[in-house]
Amino acid sequence: MTPALFVSHGAPSVALENDAYTRALAAFGSRTPRPAAVVVVSAHWEAPGPLRVNAASRPEPIYDFSGFPQALYKLDYPAPGSPEIAAEIVDRLAAAGFPAVHEIARGWDHGVWVPLRLIFPEATLPVVELSLPVPRTPEQLLAIGRSLAPLRERDLLIVGSGGIVHNLSRLRWHEKEAPVDEWARAFDDWVMNRVSERDVEALAAYRSRAPHADQAVPTSEHFDPLFVVLGAAPGARVRTVYEGIDYGNLSMRTFALET
């Protein structure tokens, strides 16, 4: 069965870099059996109302960031979309009690195309993006993941793209290899331990149970894709793809859940 993947996508500039993180993502893409398609829930697409599923046949990259090198704005990721898979996802979500609609006007945010460009640089696999609901709870996101779980049996890779520790106000942007803040390490380790133990109940209550949660997750959009991945891969074992913290406290932890 195709694994599910949680990827910490970091700063958009990783698309231009060659380091241990980018090489680890490339190695995952080359060593993992090739999926039939990729379904992504990204921190950078939040939408109220019904869930939105990108059904465009050829979405274009969105450069939803500023202040980075000009070369970044020239990168492309010309993978196809899949209206057929999008329609199936809409039906599955509706059957699980989550009204969903097709989205054909939106491109792919950098939470989609930046990590996929590192994992599958050939850009030939169909990609479908799913929005995060607003408002939302961990329990809802776990249920959304469960509704998508059967797709893994058909070789679809389900990806949550975000970050375990993501607090832009605390980053030391000019020092990528800055010493790691202990509060960031403590939260990152706590989360990974709970994931390894499959303690979904504790993870869902991270606001009250995890150390330094308010610093590590000041807003939840980067953390929340984790719950979709956990719901999509119940009982799976964890395989670390990459472990590391940049700029003092930006977790780049990436892992696969394999059944």
Give the model confidence (pLDDT) of 150-188 as tens digits.
999 999 999 999 999 999 999 999 999 999 999 999 999
Q: Looking at the whole model, is its pTM more than 0.85?
A: yes
pLDDT of 259 reads: 86
Q: Which residue has the tokens 């020239």?
A: 74
The rounded distance, in Å, linking the Cα atoms of 42 and 50 is 16
For the chain, the domains span 4-258
Residue among 48, 72, 52, 47 at smallest CA distance from 62: 72
Question: What pLDDT does residue 93 have?
Answer: 98
CB–CB of 3/149 below 8 Å? no
Q: Provide the pLDDT for residue 187.
A: 98
Mean pLDDT rounded to a whole number for the chain: 97
Structure tokens at 67: 């202040």
pLDDT for 122 beyond 90: yes
- Render pLDDT for 84-104 as a digit per residue (tens, 0 to 9): 999 999 999 999 999 999 999
Q: Does domain 4-258 sit in CATH 1.10.357.10? A: no
pLDDT value for 149? 98
Tokens standing for residue 11 = 């700063």
Q: How far apart are CA 35 and CA 167, in angstroms?
A: 32
At residue 8, the pLDDT reads 98
What tokens does 148 get? 């998508």
